Structure 1
């Protein structure tokens, strides 16, 4: 089954993602123009949005659509700055998950290398394995903490995600943050704080992607 929240245009896709996060029902196919119809949680005609397959002026249309979604009175009372901070928190937790998984993989790979070289070096292997046990225990502790916070991660997250999946999901959230910040007053202290957190998280994404390319 195709994803009802998918759209070929990036701007429309991000608009649909915003509606999903704010609790709007999944869009339905329109009967008269081949696109999608998105209704708010109360199916208020005044909040209805129509997604065409190839909308004209898509960036301006999507910006106005996101504003309409955020102004809908039938969703949770979340300010734009609240949303920015929530998305930043999600992205930061996803990056921690990616870093933890990479550490676990590093420890496992290191163990395999040691076992391959174990012939004739059993004494050295014993010392290295003792260090590895400490690494595994540290990774297990980090994974337990991640599991305790799992309910704070993005909706529909599944166990067994790869570092690449964690990083890409975090990157998607950060693109949404950047779009949100463009529409918010730059002089507000929360804007500056959100921008700094966004830039720091983007730097971590870049670092993690470079590391993943070397694997």
Structure 2
């Protein structure tokens, strides 16, 4: 055990300490007997105390069960902030996915427009009509893209997809730390799955 009570040499106990910190628990204190540390919930409820061991048989199982105790403690303050962070990541991912969808559609529309121009000699009148429709569609898509991504130069579709993937990975990591019965967690998981499916469509389009 190092001098920093938020750090532990054991991976399972480190995850437990990280979770306690995220849920607003105060820094663990040195135990008065038998060594190790003691974690107390924000309300200092003695029934919610957790003994953090340094070594010993079964210590990793104790660390894992302690994480459930932290999540279930009604005095924890971290669940709300974690849900807020998840919502932020999902919102950002949705923005990047929508931008990637728009950019993909715009790129495909531009290709259709280019093919149409090449075939314009065969049917000039029809080409003019289609040209106007496709040009209007491109302008509409580009306008929405500028609202989502006003900066220039604009990221490529692949870069947008990578940014969305990063946000979804962060959201999913935090979803695992939210109690299953927490308010709105079902809505967040549903939103995560929806965005993941949309991102998969973009990746398949990029692979073509």
162, 176, 188: which is aligned to 2:156?
162
- CA distance, structure 1, for counterparts of residue 10 and residue 118 of structure 2: 60
* Length-normalised TM-score, structure 1: 0.60
1:65/1:119 Cα in 2 relative to 1: closer, same or farther (>3 Å)? same
Q: How does 1:1-215 map to 2 (within 5 A)?
A: 57=11, 61=14, 64-65=17-18, 68=21, 71=24, 79-147=81-149, 159-214=153-208
How many angstroms does 1:193 deviate by? 1.2
Q: Secondary structure at the match of 1:210?
A: helix
1:185/1:119 Cα in 2 relative to 1: closer, same or farther (>3 Å)? same
Unaligned ranges ≥5, structure 2: 27-77
- CA distance, structure 2, for counterparts of residue 47 and residue 127 of structure 1: 71
The total of aligned residue pairs comes to 154
* Length-normalised TM-score, structure 2: 0.62
Deviations 1:151-174 (A, max 9, x none): xxxxxx873211111111111111
How many angstroms does 1:109 deviate by? 0.8
Larger radius of gyration: 2
CA RMSD, aligned part only?
Answer: 3.2
